[in-house]
Homo-oligomer: A and B are copies of this chain.
Amino acid sequence: MKNIQELQMMVEAEICAQHKAVEPHELYEPMWYALSNGGKRLRPVFMLMGCQLFSDDLKPALLPAVGIEMFHNFTLLHDDIMDKASMRRNLPTVHVKWDVNRAILSGDALAINANIYIARCDKSILPEVLDVFNTTALQVCEGQQYDLNFETLPDVSEEEYLNMIRLKTAVLIAGSLQIGSIIGGAESRWSSGIYELGCLIGMAFQLQDDYLDTFGNPVTFGKSIGGDILANKKTYLLIRARELANQEQLKILKKYFGIETFDPAEKIDRVKKVFIDLGVDKEIMDKVHDYSNKALAILDKLPVPTERKQELAKFTRNLMDRIR
């Protein structure tokens, strides 16, 4: 069995091996710039973990795993234009380093390449693999649209928020795990359970990310703390805080999330205090635990040898540990 670090290295090596200089370089250079910029390789690792649940041979999942990372990077390229994000993983985003046109078109090329790589699986499972992939891909677009809608909506409910992160983040992790399991030879009756498992882990993962963005350790989190607050993002923390706040707390939230500008440190500090006073930090932790425990329960019931589930279980438990 391979652990997550080993799987990450396999993905990294394969992405590197696929990198060839092709013309027009104006199209492919930004594509490989984005793809080569590291990251956790979470989706391809989930695809390999899905395969590993059922098979020792991970090689058939390797090119589709590169494909799912290409798809993820396609969404990042286009999302960064829409969100006007200037940096990603400590490097300028594609539309800043080159321009918006290059980011649109090399994003499109990434999406098409994603299809090419995903399709490089055994012909007998191709229809099933594509069905999962295409459905998931469309949901990711829907999630991004809801996220864009939230920017201008005065109020977003907890339910709407959870549905948005399910579409934008969780389903792609679920789809990756499921495609990996199909490649590994899973019987189709486990299919929906595996998808559900991936979805629960994806929800826990995104909510943990929301938590860490505000309450994480700046050294281990990798991004600067408080980014969501400064960007006025309607995260789970803010949505719940608004629902629970008394008049005075609501006044503070309205002030700091209004049109006025504030000293960043002051804004983060005051908002964080409201979050803590209202206990929404604890509430989001509970949510992460809920989703993670449900995932572990499904994993437990999956009729494969325990050692095959080990890395998935470790990843899921780690989601809970990191926020304690």
Contact = CB atoms under 8 A, between A and B. Distances in A.
Given A78-B104, A109-B141, A112-B134, 12 more contacts: A24-B146, A27-B141, A82-B101, A105-B144, A108-B141, A111-B111, A112-B137, A112-B138, A112-B141, A116-B138, A123-B126, A126-B130
A277 interface: no
A115 B130 contact: yes
A302 interface: no
Given A24-B142, A142-B27, A145-B27, A119 B108 contact: no
A131 B81 CA distance: 30
Contacts of A142: 23-24, 27, 109
A56 B134 CA distance: 30
A6 interface: no
Contacts of A109: 138, 141-142
A222 interface: no
A104 B81 contact: yes
B105 A104 contact: no
A82 B81 CA distance: 13
A149 interface: yes
A25 to B, nearest CB: 9
Contacts of A137: 112, 115
Interface residues of A, number: 35
The 6 closest A-B pairs by CB, nearest first: A27-B145, A82-B101, A24-B145, A112-B137, A109-B141, A116-B134
Contacts of A26: 145, 148-149
B82 A145 contact: no
Contacts of A112: 111, 134, 137-138, 141
Contacts of A149: 24, 26
Contact of A127 (B23, B119, B134, B144): B119
A319 to B, nearest CB: 28
A113 interface: yes
Interface of A: 23-24, 26-27, 78, 81-82, 100-101, 104-105, 108-109, 111-113, 115-116, 119, 123, 126-127, 130-131, 134-135, 137-138, 141-142, 144-146, 148-149
A105 to B, nearest CB: 6
Contacts of A23: 142
Contacts of A126: 123, 126-127, 130
Contacts of A105: 78, 82, 141, 144-145, 148
B119 A130 contact: yes
A124 to B, nearest CB: 9
11 contacts: A24-B145, A26-B148, A81-B104, A82-B101, A100-B100, A105-B144, A105-B148, A111-B112, A112-B134, A119-B130, A119-B131
Nearest to A116: B134
Nearest to A164: B24
A105 B143 CA distance: 11
Nearest to A22: B142
